[in-house]
Amino acid sequence: MTDVDAARPDAVRATEALSRPFSVRGLTSRNRIAMAPMTREFSPGGIPGQDVAEYYARRAAGGVGLIITEGTYVDHDSAGTSDRVPRFHGADAFAGWAGVVDSVHREGGAIIPQLWHVGVTRAEGAPPVTGAEPVGPSGVSLTGEPKGRPMTQQDLDDVIAAFADAAAAAERLGFDGVELHGAHGYLVDQFLWAGTNHRTDAYGGDIAARTRFAAEIVAACRAAVSDSFPLFFRMSQWKMGAYDAKLAQSPEELDTLLTPLAEAGVDVFHASTRRYWLPEFDDSDLNLAGWVKKISGRPAVTVGSVGLDGEFFQAFQGKGSPVAGIEQLLERIERDEFDMVAVGRALIADPEWAAKTLAGRTGDIDPFSAEMLKSLR
C-alpha cells in the first residue's frame, strides 16, 4: 500500500464531514472549519493594521471557512484592559477593520468580529481608558474578592447600547455576522455565573434572572442588524482561574440558560471547552456543544484543543503540543453532534491546517510550540 493509499480513507472522511458548506441567515462558510478567537495584542492604539489583515487572510487562504476575530472592545470606558487589543469603535479602528474584511473575503473566507467587554477582570489603571473603574454585576472578582463596583441601570443600558452599536457597525463594514463574547469569566459571563452575580434585582438570583442581561444584549443586537445578519454567542462553563466552574449542573439547568438567549435572537452557540472530547454531563458522551445544540435547537460550534495532543493551557506553561489525530472529531461531526469546529493554536502553528486536514495530509501539519505565541503571524 502506498502512502497515498494509506492516507485516502482519512482524506475521504475529512472531506465528506468537514468540506460541507454551513449556512445561517446570510452567512455561508465554505466548510465546517472556523478559526477560534485568540487575543493577540498586535493592534497599537486599538487599530488593526495591515499585518492584522494579512494574519487573518493567511488562514483564509489556508482553507479556513469562517474567521472569528480576536476579542474586540465595545465602546464603553471600562470595556478593555490593553491599548494593543483592537477596539470596535472609532473611525480609525473601523478603517482598519474594513481592510481586514476585504483581505479575508478576497481569499474566499467569511469573517465575524467577536465583541467583548472584560468587566471586573479589567486591571485598575490600565489603558485604553486609564481612569475607568472595573465594573461588573456585583463588584466582586472571579475569586470572590471585592473589585470595582456593581453596575447601575445606566451602566447596563450603556453597555447594551455599545454592543448593539458595534453589531450595526459590523454589518456596515461588510462582516458576515457577529459574535458576542459571553464566556470565560468576562462581563456577560459574570452575570451568568452565580460566583460573580450576587445581585438581588431583576438581573440576579436564579439562572433565568442571571441570563437577563445577556438576553437583553442579544435582543438589542438583533434589533440593530438586518434579518440576514447572524448572531453568534460564545459561552463556557469554565472561567479563567476557575476551571471547574459551572453555569449549569444539569441539562435542565442548561435549558433554562439557553432558552432566553435563543428566544432573544442567538442564531449559533459557540460552546467553549478546554478539551472538546470530554462529556459535559453524566450518562452521555455529548460534549458541551452537543448538549447546547440538542437543547436549544440552534447550530453549535465546538472548540477545545482540536488537533493537539494536550489541552491549551500547557501552551502558557512553555510547553508545546504535538499534532494529534481528529478521528473522534470526525466521528462526532459525522453524527451531527455539532455543526462547526473552531481551531485555535493548531492554526497558529500551521496556517494551512484546514487545507491539509481536508486533504487528509495530517502528517504534513506543523506542530505547535509555545514560542509561536510571541509572533502570532
pLDDT tens for 15-52 read 889 999 999 999 999 999 999 999 999 999 999 999 99
In sequence order, which residues have a C-beta less than 8 Å from that of residue 315 and are 6 or more positions away?
A: 321, 345, 368, 370, 373
Backbone phi, psi, residue 234, to 5°: -90, 130
- In this predicted structure, the answer to whether residue 242 has a pLDDT above a threshold of 60 is yes
Percent of the chain having pLDDT more than 90? 81
In 10 A of CB 68, how many CB atoms?
28
Alpha-carbon distances of 138 from 3, 185, 213, 301, rounded to whole Å: 59, 13, 13, 30
Contact 23, 30 (CB under 8 A): no
pLDDT tens-digit readout, 147-180: 999 999 999 999 999 999 999 999 999 999 999 9
Inter-CA distances, 317 with 152, 321, 377, Å = 39, 11, 20
Q: What is the mean pLDDT of residues 214-225?
A: 98
What pLDDT does residue 12 have?
83
Per-residue confidence band for 263, with pLDDT thresholds at 50, 70 and 90? very high
pLDDT of residue 9: 63
Quick one: pLDDT at residue 365?
A: 87
pTM of the complete model? 0.93
Reported in sequence order, the residue ranges of the chain that DSSP labels E, i.e. its strands, are 22-24, 27-29, 33-35, 66-73, 110-116, 135-136, 149-150, 178-184, 231-239, 268-272, 300-303, 340-343
pLDDT score of 368: 75
- Report which of 69, 65, 63 is spatially closest to residue 101, judged by C-alpha positions: 69
Secondary-structure class of domain 3-132+151-191+208-370 per CATH: alpha beta
* Model confidence pLDDT, tens digit, residues 279-295: 999 999 999 999 999 99
Catalytic residues: 186
**In this predicted structure, what is the pLDDT of residue 377?**
63
- The tens digit of pLDDT for each residue in 318-349 reads 444 444 568 888 999 999 999 999 999 889 98
Q: What pLDDT score was predicted for residue 366?
A: 86
Q: Is the pLDDT of residue 376 over 60?
A: no
Judged against a pLDDT cut of 80, whether residue 265 lies above it is answered with yes
pLDDT higher than 50, residue 222: yes
Identity of the residue numbered 242: A
Confidence of residue 14 (pLDDT cuts 50, 70, 90): confident
Mean pLDDT computed over every residue of the chain: 92
According to the model, what pLDDT value does residue 10 have? 64
Q: Give dist(CA 252, CA 297) in Å, integer.
A: 14
Place of cell 461531526: 333
pLDDT band at 1 (very low <50, low <70, confident <90, very high): very low
Is the pLDDT assigned to residue 78 strictly greater than 90? yes
* Mean pLDDT, residues 244-257: 97
Instruction: Select the more confidently predicted residue: 257 or 7.
Output: 257
Q: Is the pLDDT of residue 356 over 90?
A: yes
Per-residue model confidence as pLDDT tens digits over 97-135: 999 999 999 999 999 999 999 999 999 999 999 999 999
pLDDT at residue 141 is higher than 60 = yes
